[in-house]
A and B are shown apart, each in its own frame.
Chain A
Amino acid sequence: MEWLTHHLSLILFFVLAASLFCGFPVAFVLGGIGIMFGGLGILLGVFEPIQFFNLLPRIWGSAASNPILVAVPMFIFMGTMLERSGVANDLLHCLQVLLRRVPGGLAMSVTLMGTIMAATTGIVGASVVMLTMIALPSMLERGYNKELAVGTIASAGTLGILIPPSIMLVIMGDLLSVSVGALFAAAVIPGLILAFLYLLYIGGISFLQPHKAPPLPDAVGPKTSAEFWRLIGKSFFPPVFLITLVLGSIFGGWATPTEAAGVGSLGALLLAWFNGTLDRRALRDVIERTGLTNAMVFFIVFGATLFSFVFRSLGGDDLIVELLATMGITTGWEVLSFMLILTFVLGFFFDWIEITLIVLPVFAPVLHGVDFGPHIGEGGPILFMTWFVIMMSVNLQTSFLTPPFGFTLFYMKGTVPPSINMGHIYRGIVPFVVLQLIGLLLILAFPQIALWLPRTVGFLK
Chain B
Amino acid sequence: MDGLLTASNAINRMLERVAMTVGWLFLVITAVIVFDVLSRKFGFQLPGMGSTRLQELEWQLHTALFSFWLGVGYVKNSHVRIDILVANLSPRRQAWTEMAGCLLFALPYCLLAIYISLDFTWISWVDNEGSPSANGLPWRWIPKSFITLGLIMLLVGVVSVMMRIIVFLYGPERLRKPSSFAAFEITD
Contact = CB atoms under 8 A, between A and B. Distances in A.
A60 B59 CA distance: 11
A32 B106 CA distance: 6
A36 B112 CA distance: 12
A262 B33 contact: yes
Most buried by B among A35, A57, A290: A35
Given A287-B23, A288-B20, A77 B30 contact: yes
Interface in A147-180: none
A307 to B, nearest CB: 10
A258 B51 CA distance: 14
B144 A259 contact: no
B44 interface: no
Q: Is the interface of A mostly helix, strand, loop or mixed?
A: helix
Interface string B35-75: 01100000000000000000100111011011001101110
Contacts, number: 197
A200 interface: no
Contacts of B69: 291-292, 294-295
Interface stretch (B5-13, B81-89, B163-171): B81-89
A290 B82 contact: no
Nearest to A24: B101
B116 A291 contact: no
Contacts of B20: 284, 287-288, 291
A214 interface: no
A351 B81 CA distance: 10
Contacts of A73: 26, 29, 62, 65-66
A293 B82 contact: no
Interface string A55-66: 111011001111
B34 A263 contact: yes
A56 B147 contact: yes
Nearest to B66: A298
Nearest to A59: B147
Interface stretch (A15-23, A133-141, A367-375, A439-447): A15-23
Contact of A25 (B36, B37, B74, B86): B74
Given A24-B105, A298-B66, A35 B82 contact: no
Contacts of B59: 64-67, 69-70
A272 to B, nearest CB: 12
A130 interface: no
A31 B73 contact: no
Contacts of B119: 53, 56
A74 B76 contact: no
A94 interface: no
B26 A290 contact: yes
Interface string A31-42: 111111000000
Given A259-B33, A291-B23, A64 B63 contact: yes
A317 interface: no
Interface string B84-110: 111100000010011011001110110
A31 B82 contact: no
A292 B72 contact: yes
B73 A299 contact: yes
Contacts of B86: 21-23
A12 interface: no
B113 A410 contact: no
A294 B66 contact: yes
Contacts of B34: 262-263, 266
A23 B79 contact: no
Contacts of B187: none
B93 to A, nearest CB: 10
A31 B117 contact: no
A410 B19 CA distance: 30
A420 interface: no
Contacts of A407: 84
B82 A20 contact: yes
Nearest to B113: A55
Contacts of A74: 29-30, 33
Interface string A382-406: 0000000000000000000000010
A359 to B, nearest CB: 14
B92 to A, nearest CB: 14
Contacts of A290: 23, 26
Nearest to A64: B63
Given A28-B105, A73-B62, A350-B82, A55 B30 contact: no
A21 B112 contact: no
Contacts of B74: 25
Given A60-B147, A287-B24, A31 B113 contact: yes
B80 A26 contact: yes
9 contacts: A24-B105, A52-B112, A63-B63, A65-B143, A67-B58, A69-B62, A255-B37, A295-B66, A302-B70
Interface of A: 20-29, 31-36, 52-53, 55-57, 59-60, 63-67, 69-70, 73-74, 77, 255, 258-259, 261-263, 265-266, 269, 283-284, 287-288, 290-300, 302-303, 306, 349-351, 353-354, 405, 407, 410
Interface of B: 19-20, 22-24, 26-27, 29-34, 36-37, 55, 58-60, 62-63, 65-66, 69-70, 72-74, 76, 78-87, 94, 97-98, 100-101, 104-106, 108-109, 112-113, 116-117, 119-120, 143-144, 147, 183
Q: Which 7 A-B pairs have the closest CB atoms?
A: A32-B105, A262-B33, A24-B101, A295-B69, A31-B109, A25-B79, A23-B86
Given A23-B82, A288-B20, A306-B109, 4 more contacts: A24-B106, A69-B59, A297-B66, A299-B66
